[in-house]
Amino acid sequence: MKLKVNEEEREVDVPEDVPLLWVLREELGLNGTKFGCGRALCGACTVHVDGAPKRACVTAVGDVAGQAITTIEGLGDEAQLHALQQAWMEHNVPQCGYCQPGQLMMAAALLRSKPEPTDADIDAVMAGSICRCGTYPRIRKAIHAAAKARTGAPKGGTP
């Protein structure tokens, strides 16, 4: 089966019903996407498929063949960090770090659909991404900071 992951063509020999998360981690070595609950409840495994957030733990790989899959490894790179990655560092968002790839992918999808999100927008979208370390206030601040960096015109929310 041919997959398009982080703008590269990849070929994998797996049954179509294997979860995308397994293929990313075990076949392609992309370990940034995390396994949390395995039941679409925590958000740790969030990736983008054709730009939309998807829970890779409950997505059959056969359903996304040929679509553009983006993982945390493809969000930005060291030479050009995504504005969210920059803001995450500036606001020291992660604690243990385990949930953070999923948080970043969810936040990136939010900024794509709402470049200047309010606190309510952030809370509504990020509510399904669980952080056992309770980094939610820093996540919210970092999303506002990234929005400001990208648009130069933040609206609402915690400074």
Which stretches of the chain bind ligand FES, using CB under 6 A?
Answer: 35-38, 40-45, 55, 57, 94-100, 131-133, 135
Residue linked to tokens 């679509």: 67
The Cα-based distances of 108 to 60, 70, 125, 148 in angstroms read 23, 11, 11, 14
Closer to ligand FES at the Cβ: 100 or 154? 100
- Of 14 and 133, CB closest to ligand FES: 133
| Distance of closest approach, residue 138 Cβ to ligand FES, in angstroms | 9
Closest distance between ligand FES and the C-beta of residue 87, in Å?
15
In this structure, the dihedral spanned by the alpha carbons of residues 83, 131, 7 and 115, taken in order and rounded to 10 degrees, is -40
Nearer to ligand FES, 62 or 97 (CB): 97
Shortest Å, Cβ 135 to ligand FES: 5
In terms of CB distance, is 47 or 154 closer to ligand FES? 47
Q: How far apart are CA 44 and CA 63, in angstroms?
A: 20
